[in-house]
Each structure stands twice: as C-alpha cells, then as structure tokens.
Amino acid sequence: MSVAVRAGRSWRTLVDGVDLAIGGGEAVGLVGESGSGKSMTARALLGLTPPGARVTGDIAFDSDQVTTMNRRALRELRARRVAMVFQDPRAHINPVRSVGDFLTEAMIANLGVAAAEAHARAVRLLADVGIPDGERRLRQYPHELSGGLLQRVMIASVLAVEPDLVLADEPTTALDVTTQSEVMAILDELRRERGMAMLLITHDLALAAATCDRISVMYAGRIVETQPSTTLTATPRHPYTSGLMLSRPSIDTVADRLPVIPGRPVAAFESGEGCAFEPRCGHAKPHCRDLRPPVQDVEGARVACVRAGELTLRGDVDV
C-alpha cells in the first residue's frame, strides 16, 4: 500500500509500498522516527487520508477491500469494526459536550442501544479503564479532566463499540511515564480479554516490545524489518533497527554520551531509488545507493537490507 499527496503540480509519496498483516487477537507494533509514515499508514486503513490523497495497492479487512468501499460501507467499518485511539485526546473529543455524551453517542447511534443502557455501559467502561466514580465523570466536560483521564475516556469510547481491530496511534505520547504504563497496561489487558487485534504506533521500542507480539520498523515510508518482539530486541537484523536500539538509554550502562544515528531521517519522497537509509548507514556498500533492497527472510525475520544475511547486529553491539 502506498500513499501520495499532491504538492503543487507533483505528487509526494508519504507511504511507499508498506506490506503489513495483523491476525485476529494479535498485537503488532509499528515503530519509527517522526515523519516515517506510521500515522499515515494507520489513517489510510480507515480512509482518513488528506483530501485528494492517492492511495494505491490493497487494504483488506476480513477479505473486504477498504479502498473500494462506498461511503456507507466505510462509515460502517469505522463505526463497528475498526476503532482508533488518537495521540491527542483533547483534539478529538468535542469540548462543548460532556464525557457522557461522548461515550454514549456511538452506542445509541451505531449499536441501537437504549439511552439508559448506554449510560450504564458507559459507567462500567469507565471502571474498566480505571476511572472510579463514573456517574460524576459522565457529567464532566473534557477541560475538567487531566490528559491521562481523557486518554482513558478515549480508550473507553473505543471499547464501547467492541471493535475487531484497534489502531492505537501513539496513545501515550502526551502522558507522564507512570500514566503511560497504566494506560498501556489497561489497553493490553482489555485487548486480551476481548480478543481484539491491535496496531500500536509508537516511537518507543521498549513499549512496543513489552506490549506487542510482533514489531515492524518503518523508515522513510517503508517497512525495513519485521520480527517477533523478543527476537527483534535481542537480534535486530537491519542497521536502522540496531541504531535505534543502541541509542536507547539503559540503567545497566554508564555512558557520557549516547550513540546516535548520524544525519537526519528523511520522508519517502526525499529518498532516492536505492536504500533510503544508505546515507546514514555505517554498513552501506556502493550499490546500496542505486538498488532498492528487496525484502528477504533471514532466520525468521523479514528484512529489507542486501547485507542482512552477513551482518551480525545486536541490541547492544553493532558489528
């Protein structure tokens, strides 16, 4: 799947040939630096791309093609089967309506639940996401709640329609570390209890590894590596993944300065015909600049690097 937007008379590619699969009840992490195309990938799954954007390739949900759905089918998909948790709840919750209105509207309009039952469900959902005194909270307005509480309300609204797939777009970015842990623990526990699939978009490798079954690493609009979480953090196969692992601070290591990946990340439309990571890669060969690396299977990992089979990379050592 690829996504491009118009810039003047030309097109700029933001997502370039992403190949991603999520099984029922599975949690998949999508990790990468800002601007790599993670959020645009998730939005494309629901048809929430910018006006005039060009989406090519296949997006299938239970064998139904999302790209060819009419407006009614797309609304039905968004309302019942796929839900999204956004990274800034204040930007996605109507500030002039109460929390109760926000939580019950979808149940009444989309599921046909009676108003009294929707209210009772909303109270139970708030308790499920760790918000006590639900009756009082339903009467409050978004400005009366902290960022952590609002994000829990957002998660409760997603659970209210009992979707098959949850798209969590950096749901803990605006929260402090303690609240981050609590929110992700709630989301993961409820996902497992209800058998939902989840795509977690984050720039935090440790968070993805602790929450997800598999992790896909994204760079310049392309997925460069996919592995099970435990093996990716122990033995990354792509130099970019290894660079991300090396740049993480650790309580077990004393360092005056953390290693960093040289240069800056690029968008898909800024990369050339070859490997987008080549200008920043310490393992690049001359032909990496000219040839786009094919995705290959290396000991259970899917890696887009021509040297994946010969390099020895680990999370703490880059050889």
Does residue 221 carry a pLDDT above 90?
yes
The contacts of residue 33 (CB under 8 Å, 6+ apart) are 203, 219, 265
| pTM for the structure as a whole | 0.88
Is residue 103 left, alpha or beta, with left meaning phi > 0 and alpha meaning psi from -120 to 50? alpha
Measured CA to CA in angstroms, residue 95 lies from 15, 92, 134 at distances of: 32, 9, 18
pLDDT in tens, 123-172: 999 998 888 899 999 999 999 998 888 988 988 898 888 899 999 998 87
pLDDT digits (tens, 9 = 90+) for 14-23: 999 999 999 9
Instruction: Decide if 135 contacts 65 (C-beta within 8 A).
Output: no
Q: How far apart, in whole angstroms, are the C-alpha atoms of residue 19 and residue 274?
A: 18
Looking at every residue in the chain, the average pLDDT score rounds to 88
Higher pLDDT, residue 279 or 253: 279
Are 32 and 43 in contact, with CB atoms under 8 Å apart? no
pLDDT class of 319 with cuts at 50, 70, 90: very low
User: At 101, is the pLDDT very low, low, confident or very high (cuts 50, 70, 90)?
Assistant: very high
> How confident is the model at residue 174, as a pLDDT?
65
18-51: pLDDT as tens digits: 999 999 999 999 999 888 999 999 999 998 999 9
pLDDT at 313: 64
Could you give the residue ranges of the DSSP H alpha helices within the chain?
A: 38-45, 71-76, 99-111, 115-128, 134-139, 147-160, 177-194, 205-211, 229-234, 239-246
Residue 239 in this model has a pLDDT that exceeds 70: yes
Q: CB neighbours (10 Å) of residue 137?
A: 22
